[in-house]
Amino acid sequence: MQGELERALGQVTGEPVRIVLAGRTDAGVHATGQVISFRSGTKVDPLVIRRGVNALLPQDIAVRDLEEAADTFHARFSATGRAYEYRIRAGAHREPLERHREHWVPQPLDEGAMERAARDLIGRHDFAAFATGPLEGRSERDVRVAGWRREGTLLRFGIEANGFLRGMVRAIVGTLLWVGTGHTAADRIGAILASRDRAQAGPNAPAAGLCLVEVKYEGDAGETSDEDEQR
């Protein structure tokens, strides 16, 4: 995505462009609320830039809005929070046309236990047990929202925090699926957090179900973000 956006912006503005992403994602992870920033000396109107860039981008990437920002704005470091959603198709039948956007789980899930476990994630905790790979810097994060909602056979897990460790959301979902299938108890979340041991948590859920849905900035949330390393 980054390369395609830089190529299109360069063509429209007539100068090399390097963009900054608000959040990094692994291959297979989606983003409907990604934010980018870039510096340019162009005099072309932002509306014209947006139209021109969208005409050049592949069909799986689109710019919804583009506006001038303050010189101090940075898509990543100015963010005060991020929100992700993970989609699970819970039922006997999968949806083939949605296979790239959700994770299918055919066995029954204890949704009540999964919701209780999710509540224990809310607050400021050390999430080292849910991080993928070596930790860089502090591993404490402030989770503001974590919960499930059902729409037919679709389960949506929403989580918002001031920042995420690499792999954190997928590890959390994998652990909550352990809870839902009876592999571990709902009240184990606190002990897993306290352990700071990745081996205590569940495996990463597949990338396809995860989507970055919103990036928050000053005015949306009242505190500074920890650096986002979610992928």
Angle, alpha carbons 98-207-167 (nearest 5°): 155
Number of domains in the chain: 2
Collapse the DSSP code of 73 into the 3-class scheme (helix H, G, I; strand E, B; otherwise coil) and give the result.
coil
Q: Are 23 and 37 within 8 A, CB to CB?
A: no
* Rounded alpha-carbon distances, angstroms, from residue 29 to 85, 86, 149: 11, 10, 20
Bridge partners of 85, per DSSP, are 158, 211
126: containing domain: 81-216
pLDDT of residue 230: 47
Q: How do strand 81-90 and strand 103-105 relate by DSSP bridges? A: parallel
pLDDT of residue 222: 44
163 in any annotated domain: yes
What residues have CB less than 8 Å from 71, skipping those under 6 apart? Answer: none
Active site residues: 26
pLDDT of residue 136: 82
Structure tokens at 21: 């992403």
Task: Examine the domain organization and report whether 85 and 38 are in the same domain.
Answer: no
Task: Examine the domain organization and report whether 34 and 91 are in the same domain.
Answer: no
Task: Examine the domain organization and report whether 107 and 206 are in the same domain.
Answer: yes
User: What CATH number is associated with residue 149?
Assistant: 3.30.70.660
Task: Examine the domain organization and report whether 89 and 201 are in the same domain.
Answer: yes
Task: Examine the domain organization and report whether 129 and 50 are in the same domain.
Answer: no
Task: Examine the domain organization and report whether 35 and 93 are in the same domain.
Answer: no
Structure tokens at 95: 């949806």
Task: Examine the domain organization and report whether 20 and 116 are in the same domain.
Answer: no
Structure letter (DSSP) for residue 63: -
Express each pLDDT in 96-140 by its tens digit: 999 999 999 999 999 999 999 999 999 999 999 999 988 888 999
Give this prediction's pTM.
Answer: 0.90
230 in any annotated domain: no
Structure tokens at 191: 């002990």
User: What CATH number is associated with residue 45?
Assistant: 3.30.70.580
Task: Examine the domain organization and report whether 7 and 41 are in the same domain.
Answer: yes
65 in any annotated domain: no
66 in any annotated domain: no
pLDDT tens across the length of the chain (231 residues): 889 999 999 999 999 999 999 987 777 899 999 999 999 999 999 999 999 999 999 999 999 999 999 999 999 999 999 999 999 999 899 999 999 999 999 999 999 999 999 999 999 999 999 999 888 889 999 999 999 999 999 999 999 999 999 999 999 999 999 999 999 999 999 999 999 999 999 999 999 999 999 999 986 644 555 654 444
Task: Examine the domain organization and report whether 48 and 90 are in the same domain.
Answer: no
Q: Counting beta carbons within 10 angstroms of the beta carbon of residue 118, is it exposed (0 to 12), middle (13 to 18) or buried (19 or more)? A: buried
Task: Examine the domain organization and report whether 102 and 179 are in the same domain.
Answer: yes
Q: Counting beta carbons within 10 angstroms of the beta carbon of residue 135, is it exposed (0 to 12), middle (13 to 18) or buried (19 or more)? A: middle
pLDDT of residue 231: 43
Cα 75 to chain center, whole Å? 15
